[in-house]
Structure 1
Amino acid sequence: MAQGQQPDAESIPTGEEEDDSLVPLPTREGWWTTFVLYQGCWLTCPAVTSVLLVRDHFAPRHDDVLLATYPKCGTTWLKALAFAVANRSHHPVGGGGGGGVHPLLTSHPQDLVPFIELPFRHLHPLTALDALPSRRLLSTHLPHHLLPPRVDELGCRIVYLCREPKDVVISTWHYMNKVTDDFSLELDEAFDLFVDGVSIYGPIWNHCLGYWNKHVADPDTVLFLKYDDMMADPIKHVKKLAEFLRVPFTDEEVGASVVEEVVRLCSFEKLSRLPVNSSGVADRTGGRPMENSSYFRKGKVGDWKNYLTEEMAKKLDAIIEEKLKGSGLTF
């Protein structure tokens, strides 16, 4: 196949029927369907297909910025913040002046910063991403080692947001209950899979470590953020985000409380109540229409305390501590 040529859907695994390229991969019953272990990462069959296409055919640009997250780690919030910060010269916020209605008031954050691997690329070619003007702000759930090789080669900058794993498992379980009609896992069953590392794009510790290690080696290329820290001091972290995106806030903007306005515009309370986010249905993955409101539940730090037993919490803490041992990364 010629470089850059999009393969036919019939020639790649779709997940709807068994394909020789997926047969050798380890499988396990996942949260809602069979998961396959591809290069150390648990994915669905269609997701593997999408990853292969993205690695082969997505064309990164040197000025691309990737927002990388493990699922249910504040992806929607990060998209909103990064979009507001990066585009405030065209779409002023608060004291920044005019500019009309801000896109975050009329568009879902998930649509303003598209994923590179979603919707599944055998159903939705990459041409839509190719057509975007530079500088592109893109997102991904892929672990670092599955990113297209050219991302590292070109020095594309990456913003990584992680979250306390106990909150992640609870958020994931609630999310799947909401968006999957036939989801039947009890919380303790979902928890057992999670601590075994069997969750979509998991294990979570490998996902975090991949970006953490890259951040330690090259902090100018990877900004590593923690959800809990951002919630505790959003002003500080939005300033840090702006500096990393090469659009630091000016003294005039700081004096006009633009940073505070960005935080307010992108807050859970503000975004979750907007009609574009609280109503309607969209299919952003490929074959799974979901309510726009499903991306907003609580966004609270420590909500796991309402669901996990002390024994469960200690078990997950011990596993995370062991897996991250010696890395310098802690939760």
Structure 2
Amino acid sequence: MNEKELPDHLREDNLSEETKTLISSLPSTKDFLGKLYNYQGCWYYPNTLLGVRNFQKGFKPQETDIVIASFPKSGTTWLKALTFALLERSKNSSSDTNLYLNSSTPDLTKFSSPRLFSTHMPLHTLQVPFKDSPCKIVYVCRDVKDVLSSFEMY
């Protein structure tokens, strides 16, 4: 499969020069989908790494933000739905904004408070933007056997 046939998050042709310089110095390996780079102890595809770096450099948490973080298949969506229901129980509509419609790195400043985010980024990669922030972070941990079961079934 050539570079043009790959999904956007696996391609390297639209990376910034700063990101290209960074990934040239990182350990890398290939899997069946493409090249992976080890950044801060985690393996990322090129554009996913770009998103992580943009988040670490540019995200400014607000005091009322709530961030739910977990490993995939650990209950993130379920906990986010419960949290959203608690936050929005007095209202009837959900957000009609398609976060990734125009960009893989959306402008999060246009969302009203309290903002609710979820991520699968490891906890240590969240520490840069949240170091001195009073916002709330919920980190979900789940028994690895249950996570493997969820990967297999869903």
Q: TM-score, normalised by structure 2?
A: 0.74
Task: Give the structure with the higher percent helix.
Answer: 1
User: Computing the radius of gyration over CA atoms, which structure comes out larger, 1 or 2?
Assistant: 1
| CA-to-aligned-CA distance 1:23-68 (integer Å, 9 cap, x gap) | 2211233463332211111221211111111111112111111011
Query: Does 1:143 pair with 2:131?
Result: no
Q: Distance in 2 between matches of 1:134 and 1:21?
A: 34
Paired position in structure 2 for 1:11: 16
Structure 2: which amino acid aligns with 1:126?
Answer: P
Paired position in structure 2 for 1:63: 64
TM-aligned CA distance change 1:47 to 1:76, over 3 Å: same
Paired position in structure 2 for 1:38: 39
Q: TM-score, normalised by structure 1?
A: 0.37
| Residues matched between the structures, number | 140
Segments of 5+ residues of structure 2 without an aligned counterpart are 1-13
| CA-to-aligned-CA distance 1:233-272 (integer Å, 9 cap, x gap) | xxxxxxxxxxxxxxxxxxxxxxxxxxxxxxxxxxxxxxxx
TM-aligned CA distance change 1:29 to 1:10, over 3 Å: closer
Query: Does 1:154 pair with 2:139?
Result: no
Structure 2: which amino acid aligns with 1:47?
Answer: T
1:1-331 mapped onto 2 (5 Å cutoff): 11-12=16-17, 19-30=20-31, 32-91=33-92, 103=94, 123-127=103-107, 129-147=108-126, 149-172=128-151, 297=154
Which ranges of 4 or more aligned residues in structure 1 deviate by more than 4 Å?
Answer: none
Structure 1 residue 12 displacement after superposition: 4.4
Structure 1 residue 10 displacement after superposition: 5.2
Higher RCO (CA 8 Å, separation ≥ 6 residues): 2
Task: Give the structure with the higher percent strand.
Answer: 2
Q: Distance in 1 between matches of 2:47 and 2:149?
A: 25
Q: Distance in 1 between matches of 2:15 and 2:41?
A: 26
> Contact 2:69/2:121 (CA < 8 Å) preserved in 1?
yes
Structure 2: which amino acid aligns with 1:131?
Answer: K
Q: What SS does the corresponding residue of 1:139 show, helix, strand or coil?
A: strand
Segments of 5+ residues of structure 1 without an aligned counterpart are 1-8, 92-101, 175-296, 298-331
Query: Percent same amino acid at aligned positions?
Result: 34
Paired position in structure 1 for 2:10: none
